[in-house]
């Protein structure tokens, strides 16, 4: 069963805890012949790495990935690829408080209730540190995509932070790489810097809204009716720590529209169908249309804040807790590279799945 | 692979097209010994059945379910349960227009692109008619849940229709069964009736917002990190036709909150932990807390409207289309029993999965 | 989980009991565009059908298959194919004895122990009647194989019955269709007729050895290391009722050989590698070589015999049982079309799986 | 898809190549709370370790296992357990010959044909070195079994080597640990030593027959009809390198028996049903009876011999090959701990699966 795995054909199993010796991803089903080196993966891990600026946790991790199997002479062989990242900053400290008290909004209490045992050090398996393994696996997915669909680009970016939204009239793909928030709006980037600094200093935290676009996605990907492309993207995003909502294209706002307002009319372009708009987010009936695939999700504010919150201990005593330590004022920032990685894995998975289903056969138009 | 199946242990495969001889669900992994008859399932199918009032499609289907296997002397045996619903209203008509033109916002074009063949009669496999099979399977899930967790209740209801929202101060569980919209607000029910009648007469359509609550859900359900309870609920809802967004608890709004505002503080009650609020929607770290599990999703307006829309034909010619016929002005209404069924299946599935994982072991509190 | 399903991509779920209203197979993952009609499937079901001669059970079943979904205008659409066979000969009789006493060698006792409930009519789900659904699904697999690999032939035949073996020097493919045992040796066919007639008259039963060859199987099928072609064939055959052993190529006899005797030397033919022998049964490292794939399995004698056997009742009382009724003296005969169907499904499944894994890329030789 | 994984609930994915940096197993679905240390696993790895006597390959590997995740304070936590074994003896040598020539009877040619790329060093992924990961995973399975079913014992042993068979009248469980062949017959152990020494000196090799018994296996394990206990055991054994046949209980010999000879009659014992014999190998209808579960399999002789064999090169030229190096005259010896590990994993998997299916409900007898 898929407890710690995702994907139908491109199948990733992540493993490891926040403060164990290492964590990583076992990647099965990657096609043979794709060029892949540790550097190809490291570049994505470096984007997610903590401690790079004052807006993210000050935990220091090299996050150096090692490929232990599945690659020979610089190419994937079709056998399982094992990616390992050693934990280096396992700061020796007293976990007594967290070992006994459940932090509100964390998985402490539910892991305890479910398993009757939990690795409380840094959240154990429930820590967002697990997402490093996802980013590494996403690097493999990108390598395979580069071989199979050269023009395809998977790009994540923030579109909201707390009460602040981007202005889509200023949307600039190139701006994404220029600021610490991966926000495609230079004005917002500057404004958000001050806003988040204030939150950080006050020991508070704030939620975030993130969007991922897949440009150059071929039509025909998605397996109705329970492995739809949107279903799998929704599951992938919802599986990321602290995510509370996911939407495709028009998303939740579609509930308020009429059929006339929501329709994407179809015209014939030189290379196939073109659409007057993209309310659908590039997916109809669970299958990609050839337009940009657009998925968006909300990350809740981290519960690790300096304001004391009421809680209980394992023995049922009522108490209060303050979560000190090295936490992110906006954990959503670091969710951007994670979401990109998940989207890349889903798209590759559906490319491979479609080969199995249809062999790439397509109904011609025109 | 899970192309037409959902669930880890309680595994449902649906089959059938809108205008084929029959459709149904193959249900595998239902525990033995649960009381189950056709009537137990029929009651849920009758809620979804079309043609019951002027707000839903006038297609007339008896939607009578037959149990073909897996039940002996009124009880489930642990073997696969086959549920079949014959299609009776396959009105003989000319599909010529739909066979050649792609309806904007429908899966017509993507099915054609992917498979190179499609059953265009009534949308074929992409029709919402497939959801009858889900409702039938949900009836089996409810029967097993009734045996395993007697107090558990799965209830769906509308919380928004187009621009109209419910007023949560008027929320009344008993009102849900009293109006054709399954809306828990008597004032809204009346107001929406007029609103929808206007839309229906003008040949337009509108989206909807639906919520499902699971009351009495035990703590400890959900399998981190890729079969989280919220992940599986999100996938289940997103797989329903026309759904464009899914959220848990605070949902998309969590992006705008601070950590202080979003925290659910914990106190000790007589029977275990109690929470000051339910921003989490009853799920932390992907595992149920014992609070109500709350999932919400948006259904887009149906694209079948009387206003002509631009489109193309299979041969690539540009044209227009009006979708006549027996369609719903608010397809979201009939999504309510479907969503309930999906939620029931997910919760049962996680109960069974948890037995495998932990054998029901629980970490004691207090 | 794969409780009542087999296959990775071409995924079959069977359902139904011996004496329920119907049984069948839900076939998911069949590629679109393959020509398929009910007649294409019926031809294979007719081979397995009981009551055709005095050597098989006298139960009379029409075994007429209906396709309820997944086929449109004579072609598969890529959506699930539901195959239903109604049970017509559910002879009304007194099952009292079988309901209370466990038949030695049957699944009566283990189903009861596992599930605490069982459909005792004719063995319920444990009856070999379930294999009709496999044969139907095999018909779908053959239709898809005919489209994808026109020259491929899957052929089953008996090579032993009780103490009698075939003489391989008389092996004749054409003889297989000419006798009721599907034995490729005309002399054996005649001899076995008398032998089995004697067993039948004495109310005894006997085991059988069956072989399936896949001629024209392309090289490169099989997914190391846990979805090897031989692993999947072994599982497929072992899942058939009454099968106690499975072997590939040289099989169990390989244990007695030296490396010199067992090696298949390689030479270069006009169209690729050729081998001096086929000890490997066409599979090396779990991947097909391009030679004939050869799998063989043993079927135990049916436990339903006229000699009284000691047993117990549900309430634990010691007693004796004689199984009267319509049973096969050599149940292995009817296993031949079942095994063919399973082998066809496995080969198709690996063809589709290989498309996902490698896209059909092949390392060139010469 | 299950390409490099086995198990339904207790799910193991192995990874790694013969001459890569490391290999290992990702174990998902192990229940929480089982006592587990590296030493608990090492004891089983040491049994399989090469270079321990003159009868097995002289490759020297420490085969030291590290647990990288899933264990906290000496107990499993229910999260994935990563087991890593570093390859230390990657003797630098010239692989030129093996890189170009295909060894007859090896997977060299099929890996090349399938993937178009292969890691030729020591066989890469197709090497029996992969089985070290299985043995490590089996150690985890044994730890969980020890917690759940204390009396259960999984024991493997050789029953044949080339032309030599054991004498079952001398069967002695205690003898198994006393000789290098794990043979339960002291006379055979001595005789085989000389026999194998002769084969080793002549550069030849020989096949083997191995049996695994599960004593103390509870009744009720196995999920009909495609996850039967015998089906899963057959797949597990057939997936081991060089295995060509698998049988349960009476096995292939059942084909020759009559129903009278093959029946296991049932009597009532003090603690439940007892059987007059065990032709069934402890499994009826795919479900365990409570008797010893008995599975047996044949390992072919290794193809790496000193006699020159005809073969071809990647460029299609005809040539000869002698496989020098550190190979086993009877590779079947080291298959014993591997088979034990696989059997332990299958039995644990079915224990957990049965909890999901039935919650441990049992039909009472007597």
pLDDT one-digit tens code per residue, D251-291:
999 999 999 999 899 999 998 999 999 999 999 999 999 99
Say if D302 is an interface residue toward chain C (CB within 8 Å): yes
Residue of chain A minimizing CA distance to C351:
A356
CA distance C225 to D238: 10
pLDDT tens-digit map of B303-336: 878 889 999 999 999 999 987 765 679 999 999 9
Give the model's pLDDT for residue A280. 98
Q: Is B304 annotated as a binding residue?
A: yes
Average pLDDT, chain D: 93
CA distance C134 to C342: 7
Ranges C328-342, D54-68, D223-237: which has the least confidence: D54-68
Say if A16 is an interface residue toward chain B (CB within 8 Å): no
End-to-end CA distance of chain C: give it in Å, rounded. 43
Q: Residue B115's closest CA among A27, C281, C33, D259? A: C33
Q: Output the DSSP codes for B114-133.
A: HHS----GGGGGGSGGGHHH
Does position C178 have pLDDT exceeding 60, yes or no? Answer: yes
Task: Report the residue from B33, B353, B359 with minimal CB separation from D361.
Answer: B33
Does position C158 have pLDDT exceeding 70, yes or no? Answer: yes
Does position C325 have pLDDT exceeding 70, yes or no? Answer: no
Give the model's pLDDT for residue A59. 66
Give whole-number Cα distances, A326 to A60, A265, A323, C192, in Å: 10, 50, 9, 81
Q: Which residues contact D306 (CB under 8 A, 6 or more apart)?
A: D202, D203, D204, D322, D323, D324
CA distance C172 to A315: 78
pLDDT tens-digit map of B85-112: 999 876 556 676 888 999 999 999 999 9
Give the model's pLDDT for residue C148. 96
Average pLDDT, chain C: 93
Q: Is C276 annotated as a binding residue?
A: no
Give the model's pLDDT for residue D94. 59
Evaluate if pTM is beyond 0.90.
yes
* Average of per-residue pLDDT across C35-53: 89
Q: Is C172 exposed, middle or buried (0-12, 13-18, 19+ CB in 10 A)?
A: exposed
Other Cβ atoms less than 10 A from the Cβ of D306: the count is 14
Give the model's pLDDT for residue C39. 98
Give the model's pLDDT for residue D92. 53
Give the model's pLDDT for residue C94. 59
Q: Is D343 annotated as a binding residue?
A: no
Does position B298 have pLDDT exceeding 90, yes or no? Answer: yes
Give percent above pLDDT 70 in chain C: 95
CA distance D9 to D2: 13
Give the model's pLDDT for residue D91. 59
pLDDT tens-digit map of B226-256: 999 999 999 999 999 999 999 999 999 999 9
Boundaries of every domain in chain D: 5-358
Higher-pLDDT residue of A364 and D246 is D246
Does position A294 have pLDDT exceeding 80, yes or no? Answer: yes
Give the model's pLDDT for residue C305. 83
Domain A5-358 maps to which CATH number in 3.30.465.10, 3.50.50.60, 3.60.150.10, 3.40.50.920?
3.60.150.10
Does position A57 have pLDDT exceeding 70, yes or no? Answer: no
Give the model's pLDDT for residue C107. 95
Q: Is A302 annotated as a binding residue?
A: yes
Q: Is A48 annotated as a binding residue?
A: yes
pLDDT tens-digit map of A1-45: 679 999 999 999 999 999 999 999 999 999 999 999 999 999 999
Binary contact (A311, B266; C-beta < 8 A):
yes
Which residue(s) pair with D35 in the sheet?
Answer: D75
Does position D23 have pLDDT exceeding 90, yes or no? Answer: yes
Q: Residue B136's closest CA among B68, B50, B41? A: B41
CA distance A274 to D173: 74
Residue of chain C minimizing CA distance to B70:
C16
Interface confidence, given as ipTM, is 0.97
* Average of per-residue pLDDT across C13-17: 98
CA distance D47 to C245: 28
pLDDT tens-digit map of C183-241: 999 999 999 999 999 998 999 999 999 999 999 999 999 999 999 999 999 999 999 99
Q: Which residues contact D127 (CB under 8 A, 6 or more apart)?
A: D17, D18, D241
Higher-pLDDT residue of A366 and B324 is A366
Q: Virtual CA dihedral for C341, C343, C344, C350, nearest 10 degrees? A: 150
The dihedral region occupied by D187, where left means phi > 0, alpha psi between -120 and 50, and beta the remainder, is alpha
Q: Output the DSSP codes for B16-41.
A: E-TTSSEEEEEEE-PPTT-B--HHHH
Give the model's pLDDT for residue C303. 80
pLDDT tens-digit map of C296-319: 999 999 887 888 999 999 999 999
Give the model's pLDDT for residue B91. 59
A299 φ, ψ (degrees, to nearest 5): -110, 130
The dihedral region occupied by A61, where left means phi > 0, alpha psi between -120 and 50, and beta the remainder, is beta
| Band (C49; pLDDT cuts 50, 70, 90) | confident
Give the model's pLDDT for residue D223. 96
* Average of per-residue pLDDT across B121-149: 96
Binary contact (A259, B304; C-beta < 8 A):
yes
Give the model's pLDDT for residue A91. 59
Does position C7 have pLDDT exceeding 60, yes or no? Answer: yes
Give the model's pLDDT for residue D68. 98
Place of tokens 């209730």: A113
Tokens of B325: 């016929």
The dihedral region occupied by C292, where left means phi > 0, alpha psi between -120 and 50, and beta the remainder, is beta
pLDDT tens-digit map of A173-226: 999 999 999 999 999 999 999 999 999 899 999 999 999 999 999 999 999 999
Task: Report the residue from D1, D32, D359 with minimal CB separation from B361.
Answer: D32
Tokens of A102: 């459940």
Say if C72 is an interface residue toward chain B (CB within 8 Å): yes
Give the model's pLDDT for residue D98. 83
Q: Is D267 annotated as a binding residue?
A: no
Binary contact (B31, D357; C-beta < 8 A):
yes
Task: Report the residue from B32, B224, B361 with minimal CB separation from D358.
Answer: B32
Q: Which residues contact D94 (CB under 8 A, 6 or more apart)?
A: none
Place of tokens 């090897």: C228
| Band (B366; pLDDT cuts 50, 70, 90) | confident
Q: Residue B158's closest CA among B55, B228, B12, B62? A: B55
Give the model's pLDDT for residue C366. 82
Contacts of A72 in chain C (CB under 8 A): none
Task: Report the residue from A226, A250, A307 with minimal CB separation from B260.
Answer: A307
DSSP reduced 3-state for A307: coil
Q: Which residues contact B207 (CB under 8 A, 6 or more apart)?
A: A254, A255, A256, A257, A258, A262, B161, B162, B298, B299, B300, B301, B330, B332
pLDDT tens-digit map of D292-344: 999 999 999 988 788 899 999 999 999 999 877 656 799 999 999 999 999 99
Does position A161 have pLDDT exceeding 90, yes or no? Answer: yes
Give the model's pLDDT for residue D366. 82
Task: Report the residue from C246, C255, C366 with minimal CB separation from D316.
Answer: C366
DSSP reduced 3-state for B49: coil
Tokens of D70: 């899933």
Q: Residue A79's closest CA among A26, A145, A13? A: A26
CA distance A64 to A86: 7
Say if C31 is an interface residue toward chain B (CB within 8 Å): no
| Band (A153; pLDDT cuts 50, 70, 90) | very high
Say if residues C107 and D287 touch (Cβ distance below 8 Å): yes
Binary contact (B268, A317; C-beta < 8 A):
yes
CA distance A283 to A285: 7
* Average of per-residue pLDDT across B68-93: 90
Which residue(s) pair with A211 in the sheet?
Answer: A157, A296
Say if residues C4 and D353 touch (Cβ distance below 8 Å): no
Say if B69 is an interface residue toward chain C (CB within 8 Å): yes
Q: Where are the alpha helices (H) located in chain D, listed in sequence order?
A: 38-48, 96-100, 108-115, 131-148, 186-201, 229-238, 259-262, 335-358
Binary contact (D358, B29; C-beta < 8 A):
no
Give percent above pLDDT 70 in chain D: 94
How many interchain CB pairs under 8 A, B with C? 141
* Eight-state DSSP code of residue A253: G
* Eight-state DSSP code of residue A132: H
Cα D90 → chain centroid: 24
Which residue(s) pair with A81 in the sheet?
Answer: A27
Binary contact (A225, B362; C-beta < 8 A):
no
Q: Residue D68's closest CA among B138, A83, A120? A: A83
Give the model's pLDDT for residue A326. 59
pLDDT tens-digit map of D137-176: 999 999 999 999 999 999 999 999 999 999 999 999 999 9
Say if A356 is an interface residue toward chain C (CB within 8 Å): yes
Say if residues B219 and B275 touch (Cβ distance below 8 Å): no
Q: Residue C64's closest CA among C80, C50, C84? A: C84
Say if C119 is an interface residue toward chain B (CB within 8 Å): yes
* Average of per-residue pLDDT across C63-76: 97
Give the model's pLDDT for residue A90. 63
| Closest CA of chain A from C152, distance in Å | 19
Cis peptide before A225 (omega within 30 of 0): yes
Binary contact (C317, D268; C-beta < 8 A):
yes
CA distance D349 to D221: 9
Q: Residue D297's closest CA among D269, D331, D255? A: D331
Say if residues C141 and D234 touch (Cβ distance below 8 Å): no
Tokens of B91: 């009105």
Contacts of A352 in chain C (CB under 8 A): 356-357
CA distance D33 to D43: 20
Residue of chain B minimizing CA distance to D361:
B32
Does position D350 have pLDDT exceeding 70, yes or no? Answer: yes
Say if A278 is an interface residue toward chain B (CB within 8 Å): no
Strands (E), C190-307: 208-215, 243-248, 266-269, 272-275, 283-284, 287-288, 293-299
Partners of chain A (3+ Cβ pairs below 8 A): B, C, D
Instruction: Determine how β-strand C283-284 pairs with β-strand C287-288.
Output: antiparallel
């Amino acid at each position: 069963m898929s407890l710690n795995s995702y994907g139908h054909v491109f199948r990733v199993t992540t493993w490891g805890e926040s403060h164990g010796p290492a964590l990583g991803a076992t990647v099965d089903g990657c096609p043979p012949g794709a060029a892949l080196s540790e550097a190809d993966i490291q570049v994505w891990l470096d984007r997610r790495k903590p401690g790079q600026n004052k807006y993210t946790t000050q935990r220091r991790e090299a996050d150096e990935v090692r490929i232990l199997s599945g690659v020979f002479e610089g190419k994937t062989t079709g056998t399982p690829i094992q990616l390992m990242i050693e934990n280096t900053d396992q700061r020796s400290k007293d976990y007594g408080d967290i070992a006994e008290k459940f932090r509100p909004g964390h998985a402490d209490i539910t892991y305890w209730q479910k398993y009757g045992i939990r690795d409380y050090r840094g959240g154990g398996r429930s820590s967002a540190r697990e997402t490093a393994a996802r980013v590494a696996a996403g690097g493999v997915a990108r390598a395979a995509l580069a071989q199979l669909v050269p023009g395809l680009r998977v790009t994540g970016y923030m579109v909201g932070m707390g009460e602040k939204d981007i202005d889509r009239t200023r949307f600039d793909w190139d701006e994404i790489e220029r600021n610490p928030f991966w926000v495609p709006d230079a004005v917002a980037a500057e404004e958000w810097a001050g806003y988040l600094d204030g939150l950080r200093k006050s020991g508070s935290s704030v939620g975030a809204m993130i969007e991922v676009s897949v440009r150059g996605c071929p039509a025909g990907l998605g397996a109705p009716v329970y492995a739809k492309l949107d279903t799998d993207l929704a599951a992938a995003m919802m599986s990321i720590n602290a995510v509370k909502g996911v939407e495709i294209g028009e998303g939740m706002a579609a509930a308020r529209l009429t059929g006339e307002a929501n329709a994407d009319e179809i015209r014939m372009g030189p290379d196939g169908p073109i659409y007057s708009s993209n309310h659908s987010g590039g997916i109809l009936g669970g299958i990609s249309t050839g337009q940009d695939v657009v998925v968006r999700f909300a990350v809740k504010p981290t519960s690790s804040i300096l304001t004391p919150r009421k809680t209980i201990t394992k023995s049922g005593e009522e108490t209060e807790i303050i979560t000190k330590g090295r936490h992110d004022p906006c954990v959503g920032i670091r969710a951007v590279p994670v979401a990109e990685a998940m989207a890349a894995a889903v798209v590759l998975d559906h490319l491979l799945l479609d080969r199995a289903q249809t062999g790439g056969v397509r109904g011609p138009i025109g």
